[in-house]
Amino acid sequence: MADADDAAEFARETEPYRRELFAHCYRMLGSVFDAEDLVQETYLRAWRHYDGFEGRSSVRTWLHQIATNGCLTALAKRRDADRRVLPSGLGPPEDTGTAALEPDPRQRWLQPVPDALVTPESGDPASVVAAREGVRLALVASLQHLPAKQRAVLVLRDVLAFPATEVADMLQTSTASVKSSLQRARATLKEQAPTPDHTAEPTAPQARAVLAKYIKAFENADADALTRLLLQDASIEAPPIRAWFQGVEHCIPVLRDHVLGDPGLWRMVPVAGGANGQPAAVGYLRDEEGGYQPYGVIVLDVVGDHVRRIVSFGDPRLVAVFERCGGV
């Protein structure tokens, strides 16, 4: 049947780009759930219009055009206050003694992504490293501060390496406008993340060792071990809690007095491939009956033998995403 042949051809032509499209939508939207919905919508739209695709651009360009415009439409429905951020993107760190450690459900929070969903299936080491660098938390968080069109231009040009002329065609604008938007986006991004990201690869032996020490310290409620593990200027943030902290002298009292509890309260499982190109673990909290319930995902910035930053995403829904990917 012709329809079956068309469907097979469509799948053969478009499926190789699914992970790249998912990563693109994730960078644009900052949410693993929104990105999944947008990719599904992209493929539905592409299938509906596949018989009209004339090959004037590559299939890759055509799919990214559909996905990008879908992201821009979704972002246009949000207010600036609804952008997905981390607590550190909303203001300075808090003083330990005065901070309110209550969730802020009104804020849209950035979500982590399993590396398994965004790394190429080819296994080429250079491609895997590039894919991980393109979804680092610092980068994705910074992207959310850009206007939507600038965000699209920067990702399409600097991350996906599309030529300026193709980006202009995708966004139905001029090449000059693309170049101007890219210049402004790069300047803003430099202000948001002025220092290079030296976070260790999640599969590097040293990074795995640091993650193992972190998990052991947390499960044993060992504040002293965490003190030795954190850099002096380390930071912790835990969306949906708005307050965040920087410096061991502030981080450790918060962890010791409000988070660690008794030994055995926490159970953590390493994420095999990492999250956002960084070492990560899925966390579970012991309930009153002694069972463990999903808490969320913890992502570390590891520098050498120490942790520079802890981002603890307290959203139980994320646990199912990471378990589904087979990395836990």
> Is 37 among the domain residues?
yes
In a domain, 270, yes or no: yes
Q: What range does the domain containing 55 cover? A: 1-77
* Number of Cβ atoms within 10 Å of the Cβ of 122: 9
CB 35 within 8 A of CB 114: no
CA distances in angstroms from 65 to 14, 76, 203, listed in the order given? 13, 16, 33
State which of 59, 77, 95 marks the end of a domain: 77
DSSP E strands: which ranges in 177-273? 230-237, 244-246, 266-270
Q: Are 189 and 154 in contact (CB under 8 A)?
A: yes
Domain-ending residue, one of 58, 77, 96: 77
SS3 (DSSP) at 238: coil
Q: Is residue 28 part of a domain?
A: yes
Domain final residue pick, 42, 61, 77 = 77
Note down pLDDT in tens along the chain; length 328 residues.
Answer: 357 778 899 999 999 999 999 999 999 999 999 999 999 999 999 999 898 887 778 999 999 999 999 999 999 988 765 789 999 999 999 987 667 788 998 899 999 999 999 988 766 777 888 888 889 999 999 999 999 999 999 999 999 999 999 999 999 999 999 999 999 999 998 887 655 556 777 878 899 999 999 999 999 999 999 999 999 999 999 999 999 999 999 999 999 999 999 999 999 999 998 999 999 999 999 999 999 999 999 999 999 999 999 999 999 999 999 999 866 7
For the domain that residue 30 is a member of, what is the CATH number? 1.10.1740.10
Residue 186 covered by a domain: no
- End-to-end CA separation in angstroms for the chain: 42
CATH number of 239's domain: 3.10.450.50
Structural domains counted in the chain: 2
pTM more than 0.85: yes
Residue 184, in any domain of the structure:
no
Q: Is residue 318 part of a domain?
A: yes
Residue 140 lies in a domain: no
91 in any annotated domain: no
